[in-house]
Structure 1
Amino acid sequence: MFHKEGYKIILITFVFVVGCFLLIDNVVQITWLRTSIMILLLFFLVMILQFFRNPKRHTKLNDHQVISPVDGKVVVIEEVFEKEYFKEKRLQVSVFMSPVNVHVTRYPIGGNVIFSKYHPGKYLVAWHPKASEENERTTVVVENPTYGKVLHRQIAGALAKRIVNYAKVNDKAIQGADSGFIKFGSRVDLFLPLDTNIKVQLNQKVRGGETVIAEK
C-alpha cells in the first residue's frame, strides 16, 4: 500500500525505468554493463516504492496517551521554552526519520485542531540545533479535553524539500490518522505539558501510530 503523495512520483519513476530498460537493451551491447545499469535502475525504483509505502498501523485510541507521529529514532528529550505557540516551557520529544523510514505523519492525539501554520525556511540537517526554528516547517496544535494541548512540528531536513500538512483549524483530529507527509528524511518535534510522563528513551526506535511517547 502506497501513500497518495507518492502516486505521481511512482508513476513517473516507473515510466522512466521502463523507458531506460528499452533503450539500454537496444543500445548497450556489453552484457555486464547492461546488466549493471538495469540493476541500478531497479534499485532506484525499489527505493522510491519503499519510501512512499504506507503500512496499516493499529492505533489504540487513548486520550491519556500521546503516540509517536512518525517512524524513526528519538533524538531529543528535554525541557525547552516553546516560542511559537505556547510561549512557555514544555517537554520536547523529537523523532528523527532516515530516508528508509515510513514518512507518513500521524496525529499523536485526538481532539480539535486549534492551530496550523506553515513556515518557509532553510534546509539545515534535521538534527541541527536550529532546525526547529529556521528550517521549513509546519506547526499543528491539537487540543484534547483530557490531555490538554499537544503541538507537533514537521521539520524539513537537508534532503526533505517538501512538507505536506493536512491539518486545518477546526478539523477533528483522530489519533493515528494521517496528519501529513514529509518527503525524503527529516524529523518531527512534539511539545508536551510539563506534567506528562515520558515513556520513551533517547535513541529508542519508535513506530508512528503505535509507540506510546507519553501519558498523563
Structure 2
Amino acid sequence: MFHKEGHKIILITFIFIIASFLLVDNFIEIGWLRILILVALLAFLILILQFFRNPKRHTSLNSKQVVSPVDGKVVVIEEVFEKEYFKEKRLQVSVFMSPINVHVTRYPISGNVIFSKYHPGKYLVAWHPKASEENERTTVVVENETYGKVLYRQIAGALAKRIVNYAKLNDKALQGEDSGFIKFGSRVDLYLPLDTNIKVQLNQKVRGGESVIAEV
C-alpha cells in the first residue's frame, strides 16, 4: 500500500523507467553497461516505492499515552523552552527519519486540533540544533482532557522539500491516524508536559502510531 502523496511521483517514475529501458535496449550495445544501467534503474524504482509505502499500523487507543508520530530513531530527549505556542518549558522528544523510513506523520494523541501553522524556512540538515526554529516546518497542537496539550512539529531536512500537513484548526484528531507526510528525510519534535513519564531512550527505534513515547 502506498501513500496518496506518492501516487503521482510513482506514476512518473514508472514512465521514466519504461522509457529508459527502451532507450537502453535500442541504443546501448555494450552488455555490461546495459546491465549496470538497468540495475541502477531498478534500484531507483525500489527506493521510490519504499519511500512512499504506507503500512497499516495497529494503534491501541489510550488517552493517557502519547504514541510516536513517525517511524525513526529518538535523537533528542531534553527540557527546553518552547517559544512558539506554550512559551514555557516543555520536555522535547525528537524522532529523526532517514530516507528509508516510512514518512507518514500520525496523530500522537486523540483530541481537538487547537493550533496549526505552517512556517517557510531553510533546509538545514534535520539534526541541526537550529532546524526546529529555522527550517521549513509545521506546528500542530492537539488537546484532550486526560493528557492535556501535546505539540508536534514536522521539520523539513536537507533533502525534504515539501511538508504536507492535514491537521486543520478544530479538526477531531484520532490517535495513530494519518495527519501528514514529509518527503525525503526529516524529523518530528514532540513537546510534552514536564511531569510526563518518558517511555523511550536516546537512539531507540520507534514506529509511528504504535511505539509509546510517553504517558501520564
TM range (shorter): over 0.9
CA distance in 2 between partners of 1:95 and 1:35 (Å): 38
Aligned match of 1:158: 158
Aligned to 1:100: 100
Pairwise CA RMSD: 0.3
Map of 1:5-44 to 2, 5 A cutoff?
5-44=5-44
Q: Secondary structure at the residue paired with 2:89?
A: strand
Tell me how far 1:154 sits from its aligned partner.
0.1
Find the counterpart in structure 1 of residue 113 from structure 2: 113
Instruction: Supply the distance in 2 between the matched residues of 1:21 and 1:107 (Cα, whole angstroms).
Output: 41
Long gaps (5+) in structure 1: none
**Other-structure match for 2:214:** 214
Q: What is the CA distance between 1:150 and its match in structure 2? A: 0.2
Deviation digits for residues 35-85 of structure 1 (CA, Å, limit 9, x no counterpart)? 110010000000000000000000000000000000000000000000000
1:128-180 CA distance string (max 9 Å, x none): 00000000000000001110000000000000010000000000000000010
Structure 1 residue matching 2:38: 3-state secondary structure: helix
Q: Whole-Å Cα distance in 1 between the matches of residues 35 and 28 of structure 2? A: 10
Q: Residue 66 of structure 2: SS of its match in structure 1?
A: strand
Residue 178 of structure 2 is matched in structure 1 by 178
| In structure 1, distance between residues paired with 2:144 and 2:46 | 39
Work out the CA distance in 2 between the residues paired with 1:32 and 1:148: 61
Aligned partners of 1:205 and 1:90: how far apart in 2? Answer: 22
The residue type paired with residue 10 of structure 1 is: I
* In structure 1, C-alpha distance between the alignment counterparts of 2:73 and 2:57, rounded to whole Å: 17
Q: Show the counterpart of 2:3.
A: 3
The aligned runs of 1:55-66 (5 Å cut-off) are 55-66=55-66
Aligned residue pair count: 216
Q: Where does structure 2 lack aligned partners over 5 or more consecutive residues?
A: none
Partners of 1:41 and 1:18 lie apart in 2 by 9
Match of 2:70 in 1: 70
Match of 1:198 in 2: 198
Report the CA distance between 1:28 and its aligned residue: 0.2
Q: CA deviation at 1:207?
A: 0.3
Q: CA deviation at 1:185?
A: 0.3
Amino acid at match of 1:60: S
Distance (Å, rounded) in 2 between the aligned partners of 1:55 and 1:77? 27
> Which letter maps to 1:159?
L
Alpha-carbon offset, residue 17 of structure 1 = 0.3
Equivalent residue number for residue 84 of structure 1: 84
Task: Give the match's secondary structure for 1:133.
Answer: helix
Give the % identical residues.
85
Q: For 2:21 and 2:35, how far apart are their aligned partners in 1?
A: 10
Letter in 2 for 1:171: D
> Which letter maps to 1:155?
I
CA shift for structure 1 position 109 = 0.3
Q: 4+ residue stretches of structure 1 with deviation over 3 A?
A: none
